[in-house]
Amino acid sequence: MIDEALPAQVGRYRIEGILGEGASAVVYAGFDPDIERRVAIKCLHREVAADAGYRRRFQVEARAAGHLNHPHLVTIFDTGETDDGRPYIAMERLTGDALSTRVEKEGPPSLPVIMNMAVQIADALDYAHGEGIVHHDIKPENIMFMEGWKHAKLSDFGIAERRGVPRDAEGGEQRRVIGGTPSFMALERLEGHRADARSDLFSLGVVLFWLVTGKLPWQETGDVQRLIKERKRNPQPSIEPRDPSTPSILIGIVRTLLAQAPDARYQSARELIDDLKLAQREYTRLQENPLTGRIISLRVRWASMLGVTLTLVLLVGLAAIYGKQRTAVTGLGLDYGSSLGRMIAHESAENLLLGDRAATRALVEDIARNRQIHYIAIAGRDGQTIASTIRSEVGKPLPALNADDYLSREDEVDSYHSHVHGERDAMLLFATPIRYQDKVVGHLRLGVSSAPLVAAQHTTLWVIAIVLGVTLIAVIGAAYWLFRRPLILLDLLSEAMLRVARGDFKYRIRLVRRDELGRLFTAFNLMNQSLHARLRASDRHAPRRTAERAVQTTQILPVPEETPENAET
C-alpha cells in the first residue's frame, strides 16, 4: 500500500474514508454535497500519476466510460484532478461486496449464480464494446454483487481503452506501459500487442474458470515473462469442475474463452451470451428432471409383452380351431355331394338301361335347377355324354379329370376340387359310376358350388379375427391401467432419489406397503438416514471448502520488447 494522507476533499466531494487501495490507485468513500449523493472516488497514486502520458490516458478513457449507462455497469458520474494534479474518477458507490470478497466469506457460489453472473457481465461488456470501450481489467475484485448473489455490476474503468484511438493520440507520446492484472490478462495483451474486445472475454473466461474449478488456470507468478512461457507451454489447462452437475456446455464455453488465439475465442460478447443461456437451460432441465432421456415406459413394455404373448397363444389356438372347422365344413360338403351323386345315379340307372335318352336329359335339366348344382353330366356305358348342362359335351366322351385336383374317395365316389370348361369358379366335382344291379351302365359327373363353404370359412376367419382383436384390446387395456399403480410408486421412489441427489438427506418415504415395493421404500429410508448421519459427522470435522484466493492488484507494466519468443504469437 502507498502511505498517503487522507484528504478532506477531492474536487467538490467530501472524503469520508477509504474503501480500498491498490498498487496504482486508492478508492475513497466520498459524498457529493450538491446533490447529497454518496460516491466512490478512485484516485491515482502520486508516483503513477507522475507518468504524464498515463495520466492523460486515464482521464480520457474515464471520460469516455462516463457516457456508458447500463444496469450491470458501475455508473461514472465525474472525472477531474486533485489539487496536487492527480486524476480521479467519481463513480457510483455500491453497498454490496466484490466477488472476491464474497467468495472468501461464503465460499464459491452455486452454478446458477455463476451462469447468471456471466450473462450479466457479458451483457455489460457487449454494451461497452458496442460503445467502443474495452475494459482491460476483468477480475473478481471488479465484479460487485448487490442483493445477495442476484445482481452483478462491472466496476473500475480506470485502465479502460477506447478502440480506434491511436496509442500516441494523447499528447503525441507513445504509450510505454500497459495496465491490468497479469493472471487475468490475455496473452496478446501481456506481450504488448494491440488488444480488443476479445481480450475482455478472455479475462471473463479466467474468472469463470476460477469459479467453476476453485483455482486459477495458470499458477500465479509475479514474473510476467514466466507467466507468458507457462501460457504457451500449457495453452489449454484441464477443467475439473467442483460440482459434478456442471453442464458440459459451460465447460466448453470456458475452454473457448481461454483460447490463446483471439480468433479461436468468441468474437463478441453476444455470441457468449447465447451459449451461456443454452447452458442455463441445460442445467435447469437436468436439475428439474435429470431423467428426461428418451425411454420406453415399463407400462408400455409390460403391456406390449403381454399383448405379444397373448397374440401368439390366441393365434395358435384360433388357427387350430379354424383348421378343425374348415375340415369339418369341407367334410360336410363332400358328404352332401357324395350322397346327392349316389341318389342321382340311382334315379338315372333305369333310363340308361332302357336307353331312354329323353328321360335322362329331362332328369339332368330338372336337377340343374338346384342353385347349388353348377354342373351335371351323364354318360353311357361307352363313356359318351348323353346329357350335360354344358351342351357342347353332349355326344362326346366325358372330360378327363386332373389327378392333382383329387380330394378323396368314398363308396366308389371320387371327389375333386376343380374347374369345368365354361365355368369361372372352381367347384366340388364328384365322379360316380351308375350301377344297375351291380352292373355299371353309365357314369355321372356332378359339380356342386364351393361358394357356401368358402363363405362359411371366411365368416369363421372374420369371427376369429374379431375375437382376437377384442380380446387383445380388453386385456392390453386392462393391463395398461393396472400397471399404472406400480409405476406411480416407482415415480415416487425416483423423485425421492432425486431429492437425495440434490442434498435433501432428511426426506423419508412415508407410504407403508406390505409387498416388495414396501421393502424397497424401507431400504431407501435406511440409506438416507445413514447418509444424513454421515453428512452431519463430516460437517463437524471437515473444513469448509473454498476457492483459491484470487485477489490480485492491477499492475502498470512496461510494454515488453519485441523478441523472437513474443513474435511466435
Residue numbering of the annotated binding site for ATP: 42
Residues contributing to the annotated binding site: 42
What's the grid cell of residue 34?
Answer: 450538491
Contact yes or no for 77/39 (Cβ under 8 A): yes
DSSP-H helix ranges across 376-450: none
Task: DSSP for 107-175, please give it.
Answer: -SPPHHHHHHHHHHHHHHHHHHHHTTEE----SGGGEEEETTTTEEEE---TT-EETT--TTTTTT---
3-state secondary structure of 346: helix
CA angle 135/215/156 to nearest 5° reads 20
What's the grid cell of residue 366?
Answer: 330338372
What's the grid cell of residue 189?
Answer: 495483451
CA dihedral 209, 210, 216, 217 (to 10 degrees): -10
The sign of the CA dihedral 531, 535, 541, 542 is positive
Burial 86-122 (b: 16+ CB within 10 A, else e): bbbbbbbbbebebbbbbbbeeebbebebbbbbbbbbb
Query: How far is it, in rounded angstroms, from Cα 194 to Cα 94?
Result: 32
